[in-house]
Homo-oligomer: A and B are copies of this chain.
Amino acid sequence: MRLVAAAGPVFAKHGFDRATVREICREAGVNIAAVGYHFGDKFGLYREVIRMIRRRCQAAHVVELPPDLSPRDRLHLHVKMMLTQMLSGDDRGWESQLMMREMNQPTAVFVEMVEESFRPTFENLKRVLAELCPAGTSEDLLEKLALSVVGQCLYYRVGAGVVRQLIPESRRASSFDVASLARHISGVIIAAAENALALEHSKTIEDALDITR
């Protein structure tokens, strides 16, 4: 259906509420009443867009990495893949843009989206990290490290505007491209994984000065 294809970018650009069915239909070259006829209402169309994304993501996730790589290289490729998906231009990246909107204003489809798109990535990361950490590393630490990876990658999308303003254009072009960032993030995580024992038992001065305000 042309409507679903045209609705995706529009929903991603404006969000569910700001996106108008009139713009979607104009973009798709169909009449306004079509959405009511085929999908019941505006949200039915949205639900269908999400289902289309799910199908695509599932197809993309089965692409497995070559199994003869070192854990370090597997982690690095994971990070690089996430970053390219995050930072791809608006033409390619409207899908992750839509997911971002779901994170900020979850609708009814949020739960299944996490289950079918985020959890596989999360579990893959945990597997790779388990190989990088010393044997016996706790499940907790593996999960926290996985979230550290995702968090660092995600920031270059949700905080793209902030980064653009904090880092001058010259340095941004030379040192904050996908390749450099992927090296940095995987390097940070590898350094942390090698010190996993220290991380498990870290103690600090902690509540000596409580700044919870």
A→B interface (CB under 8 Å): 15, 17-18, 60, 66, 69, 72-73, 76-77, 80-81, 84, 100-101, 103-106, 110-111, 114-115, 118-119, 122, 139-141, 143-145, 147-148, 150-156, 158-159, 161-163, 165-167, 171, 175-176, 178-179, 181, 183-189, 191-192, 194-195, 198-199, 202, 204-207, 209, 211-213
Contact = CB atoms under 8 A, between A and B. Distances in A.
Contacts of A148: 152, 184-185, 188
A166 B122 contact: yes
Given A166-B114, A204-B73, A158 B188 contact: no
A63 to B, nearest CB: 8
Which 5 residue pairs are nearest across A and B when measured between Cβ atoms? A151-B155, A188-B192, A191-B195, A151-B152, A140-B175
By secondary structure, the A interface counts as: helix
Given A103-B162, A187-B192, 6 more contacts: A15-B105, A77-B211, A100-B104, A100-B158, A148-B184, A186-B204
28 contacts: A60-B213, A73-B205, A76-B204, A77-B209, A84-B212, A84-B213, A100-B158, A103-B159, A103-B162, A111-B165, A115-B165, A118-B166, A139-B171, A143-B171, A150-B155, A150-B159, A151-B153, A152-B152, A158-B158, A178-B212, A179-B206, A183-B202, A187-B192, A188-B188, A188-B191, A188-B192, A191-B195, A192-B192
A100 B158 CA distance: 9
Most buried by B among A115, A141, A175, A181: A175
Nearest to A69: B205
A140 B76 contact: no
B84 A161 contact: no
A206 B177 CA distance: 14
Contact of A162 (B118, B165, B175): B118
